[in-house]
Structure 1
């Protein structure tokens, strides 16, 4: 499924540069059931030919686009029955007009649907509907299924708090995966760089924390000896292999929620199992080199210290 963005929506719904008024010589009009009041003085026609009768005053006070259009000098032979062709599909047009006049709208079925209406609301400069859809952008379903698209839309509209929330949810993604190159390429560098920086900071900081001899003395201290016999220097090759595996996992999923856990896929890694089974080489000792519970607890603590949102003002 294509990742929904404003730019991809606009390629699906072509928007000509010229909007023109057609006379009332068209076939019998078909009005939308919710926009057919006879006292409304303005009619909009969709690409499918559906007519939406609405008060021009409502459009003027809710849309910067129509406020500018109605402020222009009108031809002397202008008729109220004239129809404005807006070259928009019924779906985004109906939902936007419902928000403009205060009618309820259904729950959003997909982020692509939301992006289509956002594109029209932006073009018509409608602050009210934009504020309504701003709240919808951080719906759990959208953040879970399309975190990068949510981030792209939030940064496009300069919605900083929503961008921060979405940036956290992108930590489940490996942004170096080619499947994300298209949407990243459509975003401006000022929006992409903070996101890439967040992912990189988490990886680098996690590496530094795992390499800390203060946090993981048994694995990282060159002079560390077996806790039980106090004689044998530990062979830390198993710990180093386990750290490399965790670094790769952090590359794949910077959220780090699969690390330091007791159950799941990571506890069954060959590197993890070898680490927990490593023992002192002294025959009459054979104590375990690493405390599994304490080590996993410390790994979780390291993950909790990592930055979780983009750094924007």
Structure 2
């Protein structure tokens, strides 16, 4: 019977887990003494001095008594935010270039983190980005964020951008669900007041002599003429305001065709003066409130 082979038995040793990866903009170096670890495992090597100067959270943290140093160096500080958010905050606070602030979701996530860690410089830059022309966002979202943070100058600006939106649409309702109740009421009140004031102006006989009459007199032949074109236009205007809001641009379409083309059945002259009608309607629209109202105390905070 042959003896078993006495050759060396090899044991396969499992390789260690992959080494943690440093963010390319924040690699370990002799100038760094603190390491942050994002929720998705990315490491950020930074200077504790810079963190203390720019992050209020770490200024307080580093002022606490320190534990004896480990022979292997300090352990990374685990953060609850993703690598994208940590990198964005570091870039903003160290002025190494702004992260992309063209997304309202990115901006809001960064803002929450900046407030949590008391990164004042990042909050200031995010606030300025709220009214940036490159930011692709619903003005309702911008309004809600600004109002929540007491940035009333930005909130009133954003409220003026909602005037052609239907606040009852599914998209608007979704955005409003993120917004403070008091802010929603102010926005709803703005839209309601605009509708009611427009209706009142369209019924104002001082602005439009034929505003509330069933018939008007042709200025050329004194024939009594049906005033239904004007009444129909009023109905369409109020419906438009209710549905999608209204602006002077609305007058550039076909909405006034029936008014402009309306003629006396007897003399075939135009019943309404198109120039005066357009001017009166433009004035009526421009005089409507265009932004949410704020108290005198709040108004002092706008500047």
Instruction: Give the structure-1-normalised TM-score.
Output: 0.81
Number of the residue aligned with 1:19: none
Question: What is the DSSP-based 3-state SS (H/G/I as helix, E as strand, rest coil) of the residue aligned with 1:234?
Answer: strand
Q: CA deviation at 1:146?
A: 1.6
Contact 2:216 2:227 in 1 (8 A): no
Contact 2:139 2:159 in 1 (8 A): yes
- Listed one character per residue, the Cα deviations across residues 244-280 of structure 1 (whole Å, up to 9, x for unaligned) are 001111122324233332xx3xx1x4xx433333333
Number of the residue aligned with 2:292: 310
Number of the residue aligned with 1:103: 96
User: In structure 1, which of residues 204, 224, 228 is the aligned counterpart of residue 220 of structure 2?
Assistant: 228
The yes-or-no answer on 1:290 pairing with 2:290 is no
Aligned-partner Cα distance in 2 for 1:224–1:206: 22
Number of the residue aligned with 1:276: 260
Aligned-partner Cα distance in 2 for 1:176–1:141: 26
The yes-or-no answer on 1:201 pairing with 2:183 is no
Contact 2:26 2:46 in 1 (8 A): yes
Number of the residue aligned with 1:132: 125
Contact 1:62 1:100 in 2 (8 A): yes
Number of the residue aligned with 1:93: 86
Q: Which has the higher helix share?
A: 1
Contact 2:102 2:135 in 1 (8 A): no
User: In structure 2, which of residues 134, 138, 151 is the aligned counterpart of residue 146 of structure 1?
Assistant: 138
Q: CA deviation at 1:162?
A: 0.9
The yes-or-no answer on 1:35 pairing with 2:3 is no
Instruction: Give the structure-2-normalised TM-score.
Output: 0.83
Largest Rg, 1 or 2 = 2
Q: 1:84 to 1:259 in 2, by over 3 A?
A: same
Structure 1: gaps of 5 or more residues: 1-24
User: In structure 1, which of residues 62, 70, 83 is the aligned counterpart of residue 76 of structure 2?
Assistant: 83
Superposition pairs of residues 48-63 of structure 1, within 5 angstroms:
48-63=40-55
Q: Which has the higher contact order (CA 8 A, sep 6+)?
A: 1
Structure 2: gaps of 5 or more residues: 1-15, 299-303
Aligned-partner Cα distance in 2 for 1:102–1:258: 42
Q: CA deviation at 1:287?
A: 2.6
Say what the alpha-carbon RMSD is for the aligned residues.
2.3
Contact 2:102 2:134 in 1 (8 A): no
Q: 1:125 to 1:106 in 2, by over 3 A?
A: closer
Aligned-partner Cα distance in 2 for 1:227–1:233: 10
Q: 1:141 to 1:209 in 2, by over 3 A?
A: farther
Contact 2:215 2:227 in 1 (8 A): no
